[in-house]
Every structure is written in structure tokens, then in C-alpha cells.
Structure 1
Amino acid sequence: MEAAAKGESGASDELGARLKAFEGRAASVTGKGKDLVNEPMIRHWCEAMGDTDPAYTGPDAIAPPTMLQAWTMGGLSGHTGRAGAHDELFDLLDEAGCTSVVATDCEQEYLRPLRLGDEVGFDTVIESVSDRKTTKLGTGYFVTTRTDVRVGQDLVGTHRFRILKYAPARQKEAPKGTRARRPRPVVNRDNAGFWEGVERHQLLIQRCTDCGTLRHPWLPGCNACGGLDWDTVEASGEGTVYSYVVMHHPPFPAFDPPYAVGLIELAEGVRIVSNVVGVPYDKVRIGLPVRLEFRRYDEPDGDDEGGPLVLPVFRVLEDRAGGVG
């Protein structure tokens, strides 16, 4: 997530000065990974990510670099040896009304692969606390932690994690009789082509021009061969419900729960998350055939600001769903 922020330099910020004193303090000291780097965890990760790179299998397997943080996680029982600086910092922010938090970004640097049997150690410090910032979410502070991951004395990678701890901004109340607008998708340079296709009522799938692998969601590179060049193919629109959930809570102003959200497996072999329509939410089942359609939401009405939102949804084919709906 990118938060549009501006500094509030020039304003007296006693809290900010107190927060700055936490920079460089340890959030955890000499932490140890709960497991050695092992084949089952690598296999589970690769299956979840759909990564079939042969470097991650066999007796000489390495761990996918993006697993770096996974080896440092403490699970439900946590880690021993944690310092209190992180909790102290958050307590100060909570007392100042910055009770909400959102992750903004992370950065990882890889120095050497992790191999089967490696014992991971790590140290985490509070690297920086920003000046007070005002964002669309509210006013608060960006806090960046840095975790150095080691095997023995060797630094193997670095993980930086940044959050915004903020006091929520007051939401403007919508005029009576108007409906709340749906959240807009975050469009960036990696996925802009997908949303441009949706506007034209086309569901475009990325295709690697090096190995021909299709991928969704859109990514800057191929997760099969690493190639950076790609083109697109248009989905036929046919698919099946691979999995689904029924949303009951929490309620959002622009939505009417309960409703079904499906993981749709397209005829082309990739999967996409979207709403399942055409049958009652309690009639959705795994394996139901569906067909793509496009819906427009938030049509302008009178003085409403902004244009409509076009989204791909999937309608259950009634003739193969027992005539329900």
C-alpha cells in the first residue's frame, strides 16, 4: 500500500522527538528460528506460490529467497529474548491516539541462499521513525524495523518492514439517501494493463513470452522461468468454482452481506478471486461452472463525484447448477 503523506515540519512535535529516541534500539536480540531450513516448509511454500523451480527440490535444494522472513517467525507461542523497545514505542503511540496500524511496504535483500539444515538467527532493530505525517487514513508516524538474518556469523539477508501507526481521520458522512461507493482498486505500473482491459470488458491474462506460462495476478516477472518479457491473452470467460467463502462480517457500507466470494479457476488454468453471482450465496458449491460477466457499480447520480467502477464477476450457469437461482 502506498500512503500519500506530507510532513508537518514547523509544527511543535514533542511526541515525535520522544519517538526518535527509539531509533537504533533493539526490538529483538539474538532470536533463533524455531526450525532448521527444511524441505517440508519449502514444499508448502512452493505449492502455495505455484513455484515449480527445480532449485527448490532434492537433497541440494535451496529455500526460495522470498521465504527469508518465514524462518524468523515465532508462530503462536512467539520467541523468547525479545526486547521491550518495540512495545514501549507502540504504547507511546497508543497513548497519543495513534491506535490504528497499516502495513505500508517491505524490502528484502538476499546475500546468499539458505540451504537445507541451516540454523537461522536474527536481530531486529527499530531503524527509523518518521516525522509526523498526514495521510488519507489519518495522522501518525511511519515506523521501520530492520531484521538482519544470519547463519552462524554470516549475514545472509536483510528484511525491512514499514508500518504506519496513526490516529484515524474522521470520515465524512454521506448525505442522506446516497449509497457508499465501493473501494477503488490500487492501480500501479504492474497491473494497469489488467484494469485497462476490464474497462474494455476484457479479462486479460499475462503470458511469459520466454516460456509461455500464463500468470494471474499480474506480476513484473515470470514465476516459472524468471523472464521479464510478456504479452497477454484474453480469457474465454469459462471457469469453475475452485473454492469460496461467504462473507457475513464485518459489514461494509458499500456491500450487502451475506455474499459469496469465489476463487475461480479459468479454463486457461489460472485462478482469480471475484464475486459469484446468479445463485443464492448458500447455493454456491465447489465445482460449479461459471461464466464471466462485467458489472458497473456506483453509477453517477446527481452530484455524485467520480465515475462508475467496472468489475469482473462470475455467474453460475443455471443449466448445470440444477436450475437454482
Structure 2
Amino acid sequence: MQEPPSRDKHPDTKPHRSLFERLTALISPEPENRAELLEILHDAHGHGLIDADALSMIEGVFQVSDLSARDIMVPRAQMETIDISEPIDQWLPQVLRSGHSRFPVIDGDRDRVVGILLAKDLLRYFGDESFVVRDMLRTAVFIPESKRLNVLLRDFRANRNHIAIVADEYGGVAGLLTIEDVLEQIVGDIEDEYDFDEDEDNILPARPAEHGPRWRVKALTSIEQFNDMLGLHFSDAEVDTVGGLLVTHIGHVPHKGEVFEMEGVRFEVVRADARKVHVLLVDKLPPRPSEADPR
């Protein structure tokens, strides 16, 4: 007599799911795209399954794959550079004052980056009479403005590099990026004893937009400064900051990637967590036909 088939003879057979499990899968299917996955994660946070910091970092990982170098780079005008054509005594105080660990080195022109100088290599200057700055330079890495941050982060790790020079389409220097800048998109601001929250850094030009310049704005920027810089007229009667203005307008803390329009201004959330907004991209929209001059 033939024996009935035994489950033990088929170890690869999937375990039988209970009726409850099948009903649960039918009612709550697996996420089919990123938006559905993020919605599930936000629900998990709402039920206390993951904390705000974990949710923020997960969102940051998704955001890194959507952003490019031009979105977060330090603009050319804000770069701290060393001009190798000048005597070392002229730029050494700048190095000591800034506290940075790496400096792009130029040769008379910001578009002529000849290398990267590590601040620790300057220690040899004080004990070596034959010190030559050019011999201390590390090779500068150049990347296009369009390079995705997730690819750049992988390159940083693979090459043990910490800084890259961002080049524009004409081969000129557009800005710079560090590995810290990329990691901050995931874990939030990484502050050290040399970081300063100066007003002039609250609003920086990011890149041209469809209807004019686009600005990278810290959410803690005062509405007064925001109005002055962009020629706007938002009220600060109820809130003091741009982030507070946005949250008040939409009625909730926005997620990364959300876009809103308010009084002819477009706001895109670049960095935020479950508790507050950190950084925005802002550009002014053209007047609607009804608002335009009828003449």
C-alpha cells in the first residue's frame, strides 16, 4: 500500500497560514511603493512602535536617494579656501579661526582647485624649516552637481574620502560637499564646537528654479529676516520663524519631500523629523493671471 505524502519530505513547502493571517494580509496588504511604506512607518510611530529619531533617520535614508549634490552643497561664495599663491602667514590665521579639518586649496582663482589641505598637516610647518605646502596637498575629488547623494556617500566610504568639490556644467567650481553634509541628511545636524548659527547662513542660494532663484532656508530663520531677504510680507504676529509659519499654515508637522504653496511662495521640505522642520527649499512663483496687471 502506498504511503500518503508526508510534509517532512517537502522541507521547502511554505507553512500553512491560518485564516486570521490570510484575512489580515487581505485587509492590510504589503506596501507597494515608498509612499505607502512611509505611511506605515508613521502609523508605527503614532502607536509608539518606533521613536521619532528612528523615524527621522529612515526618512533621511529615503531622502538621500532623491537629493543631488546641488541641493545641499556649500555654495562657492561660502567656501573657506586657501590661496596657495599667497604666503602661508597670510592664510594661516584663517585656518586657525575657522576650525575646519580640510580646506580646498586654490591657485589664485576659485576655479583652479589644486588640492585639499588637511589642517593636521600644518603641524609640520612649525617644526620643519623646509615645509612646502604643495607637497602636503591631497588630490581633490570633483563631482557633478547632479550626482545623487546615495551614490556620493558610497563613494566617500569606498575611497575613504571626506570632501568633494562640486563642478558646474562649464567646469567651474559650484561649491563643495563633505561626508558630514550627507550624513546630516540622515541623522540630523551634526554640530561641533566650531559650528556657528549665524544669521547670514540661515538663507543661502541653492540653485536656479523655473521662475527665478531657489533658496535653502533654515526653518529657525526669523520671518523678519526671511521677508527682508526675499522681498516678502509674511506676518510674524502669531509665530516668529519660517518653520512655525509653515506648520501653522498646514496644521501639522510636514514630512520630508512635502511641497506647499503659500501667498505665491513654494516651500519644499528638505529636512524634517516627526517633531519639527529643519530645512526648506523656497522659490517665489509668478503671479497668477488674475493677479497680473490687466494692461
What interval of TM-score do these two structures reach, taking the shorter chain for normalisation?
under 0.3
- TM-score, normalised to structure 2, is 0.28
Q: Which has the larger radius of gyration?
A: 2
Q: From the two aligned structures, give the one with the greater strand fraction.
A: 1
Q: From the two aligned structures, give the one with the greater helix fraction.
A: 2
- TM-score, normalised to structure 1, is 0.26
Name which structure has the greater RCO, CA cutoff 8 Å, separation 6+. Answer: 2
